[in-house]
A and B are shown apart, each in its own frame.
Chain A
Amino acid sequence: MARRTVNCCLVGLSPLLFFAIGSAVAAPITFNTALPVAKEEFLFRQQFINMQSGDDPSGAQRDRSENMSATTLAYGINNRLALFGVLPYRDIDLSMDMGSGKVSRSNSGLGDISVFARYIFQQNNQAGRTLRLAAFAGLKAPTGEDEASDSIGTLPPPLQLGSGSWDAFGGLVVTRQTLDYQLDAQLSYRINNEANHFEAGNVLRLDASLQKRIWPRELGSGVPGFVYAVLELNATSQEKNALNGTNDNNSGGTRILLAPGLQYVTRRWIAETAVQFPVSQNLNGTALELDTIARAGIRFNF
């Protein structure tokens, strides 16, 4: 009975799992965008992400934290088509009150790899500015362990490093970039499939990012480094998860996050950081609410 209660509460955490993976497929700071990858050139991105969730409406005092290292490599097939791969390394901790005391469980290791292709179908370059429209589609492969266990038993899905399923995602992304600011917006949909009797709900996402150059205020000659003030928005709507074919009423819902951040952009590399705060969380049942997601990373052009 106690085991069943644990699994039920933990399954309610699963939107966090997919939120994290989706966010790791990113370009500005928190999401994927139409960042240009030149023909036959590589782009490398390394991001470190800390995610905290502790506002538990179930009363079980669930407290979940995850540290993730997300490594992204992109390659330009030509000036329109680029391939991306994202490899996450995950370290997850979860504690909850079982009545007889606090129980803590954890797991760490390589997660599920995502690969996707992006095609820029519309590009309009003007002096000091560009507009790009692109479509992307990809797969998440079940490379992470999905049947890990500890002394209590098999870990529930939110503590597994991988989902065990092949999942598909796709969407559209638009970028408007000038010398003063950059605006990106992305609409995507992810179809999650069943594995190990568990199927996470499909996810619809809308992400937007505004990057405003704050330094240098006046552009001189040459190529100076830019400092951007960044404000990003991430809205997600996830369907309910299914366990053994039955919908979990304590899962799914909508979230809106705001993320102020900073970027320092040079010719060869970009350093960036942002913290995502929830401004609205309308989750089903006792699904665990998100506290914050902190991100810091670097990007190299080589």
Chain B
Amino acid sequence: MKITNLKNILFKSTRLILASTLTSAALVWSSASFAGGTEYDLRVDGLACPFCAYGIEKKFTKTKGVESVEVDLKNGLVIVKTDESKTFKEEELKTIVHDAGFTMKSMTEKAR
């Protein structure tokens, strides 16, 4: 009898822990999915060496609301991720790239 009760308690506890874990995971996933912010993928001409890449990275990271900047030299790609407080207009992006000494050819943006 006692053993059966213990098994039931263990079974219920396991289900409870499992349900809590799943709920927490769902909440985390949900908050990550709807964190806001935008990803801007910029095609930049003139990027030809690692030393150049830092110049453009720094220009963007100085801007409030920019969370990260990644440069892919081989493909001339600059990926800028912002938080929900910051959105860029195309002209603003072109100016930042221009000030760093390069030319923005095109851009795409998507919600994160």
Contact = CB atoms under 8 A, between A and B. Distances in A.
Given A177-B48, A223-B73, A79 B55 contact: no
A178 B57 contact: no
B93 interface: no
A125 B51 contact: no
B45 A226 contact: no
B101 interface: yes
A182 B53 contact: no
What's the interface size class on B, roughly?
A: 20 to 34
B71 interface: yes
A38 B101 contact: yes
A301 B55 contact: yes
Contacts, number: 91
Contacts of A39: 99-101
Interface in B59-78: 59, 70-76
B55 A219 contact: no
Nearest to B72: A221
Enumerate the 7 nearest inter-chain pairs by beta-carbon distance, A residue then B residue, closest first: A125-B46, A125-B45, A267-B54, A39-B99, A125-B103, A36-B101, A130-B46
A197 interface: no
Interface of A: 36-41, 78-79, 123, 125-130, 177-179, 182, 219-226, 265-268, 270, 299, 301
B42 interface: no
A79 B94 CA distance: 13
B51 A267 contact: yes
B74 A226 contact: no
Interface centre among A37, A79, A130, A223 (most CB of B within 10 A): A223
B47 interface: yes
Contacts of A130: 45-46, 48, 102
Contacts of A222: 70-73
30 contacts: A38-B56, A38-B99, A39-B99, A39-B101, A41-B58, A79-B100, A123-B46, A123-B101, A125-B102, A126-B45, A126-B46, A127-B43, A128-B74, A130-B46, A130-B48, A179-B48, A179-B49, A182-B48, A221-B74, A223-B50, A223-B53, A223-B71, A223-B72, A224-B50, A265-B49, A265-B50, A266-B51, A267-B54, A267-B57, A270-B51
B73 to A, nearest CB: 6
Contacts of B27: none
A177 B54 contact: no
Given A79-B101, A128-B76, 8 more contacts: A36-B55, A126-B46, A128-B47, A177-B49, A179-B48, A221-B75, A224-B50, A301-B54
A204 B15 CA distance: 85
Contacts of B10: none
B99 A79 contact: yes
A266 B107 CA distance: 26
B99 A78 contact: yes
A179 B50 contact: no
A219 B71 CA distance: 13
Contacts of B71: 222-223
